[in-house]
Amino acid sequence: MDFGQSRLDRYIRQIYGRQIPQSIIEKALRNKDILLNGAKTKSSARVSSSDEVFVHPAIQRLFARIALQGKDVPSPDYSRYAEQFKGMIIYEDADLLIINKPAGLAVQLGSKMKLALDVMAKAYNPQARLVHRIDKETSGITVFAKNVETARYMLHLFQSKQVRKKYYAIVSGRLDMLEGKISKPLTRNKSEVVVDFQNGKNAITEFRVLKNLKMARSLVEARPLTGRTHQIRVHMASIGYPIVGDEKYGNRDGKKNDHLLLHAYEVSFKTPQGKTLTKRAPLPKYFV
């Protein structure tokens, strides 16, 4: 599923600049100048696409001044990956970059990772800001903004569910129904996401069967109406049709697959100029 969770302080730096000191973020949180879903929170709080992050305009201006005046934090040289990133681009204009991410590449650099999509994007365009996440194992569409204003605009669209997304998945088994809607609340339980009707957050996925395949599998189009972590993966497994290659949530057909067969196929939204933009990412060869 799109938009894996990250710490709030890391999220702030991703949007406003790596130079933002931790002390300033902490002070803004204490003063309620930064809110998560309308409430006071800690810098370690986890943020996903379904959450709303409020930053007071005065703090936004302070962050902008720091970003302009400060020096970049020393980091490895990723410039050699600029051409590789360029080859992933399926759409680019003055404000946006839309990428067809390969499976196996994380979207954000972590402490145990040597390479991720976000640093490759910075090598291609230093102003690139990640506004849409998908799982490392998932292939397909990922969105970057090329300036702060567009980043804020796109984050608002994702958080307010004004972005239409379609995924293609190959699932184990042949579904009895041609289409359906899965409405099951989800919550994180250690390293996994689980259905939890008492404490989970609302999660809705619509799906329809596109084609029955060999080996008792089905090609499914899934439309997440909410943006929970691993949502499509958990929802399809919860009705007995896990996604092929999903070792975490029940790859049940017993056949080895080198990839999770989940692909972020299409994204559609209104640009800052009011134009409806719809883009599709071709399926990887192993998918078909």
Q: Which residues are catalytic?
A: 135
Contacts (Cβ under 8 Å, ≥6 apart) of 10: none
| DSSP one-letter code for 39 | B
SS3 279: strand
Q: Locate the DSSP E strands across 46-163.
A: 46-47, 53-55, 89-92, 96-101, 129-130, 139-145
From 247, 254, 228, select the one nearest 137 (Cα to Cα).
247
C-alpha 225/C-alpha 271 separation (Å) is 20
Question: Would the CA dihedral through 225, 228, 229, 232 be positive or negative?
Answer: negative
C-alpha 165/C-alpha 195 separation (Å) is 22
User: Which long-range contacts link 68-72 to residues 24+ away (Cβ below 8 Å)?
Assistant: 70/17, 70/19, 71/19, 72/18, 72/19
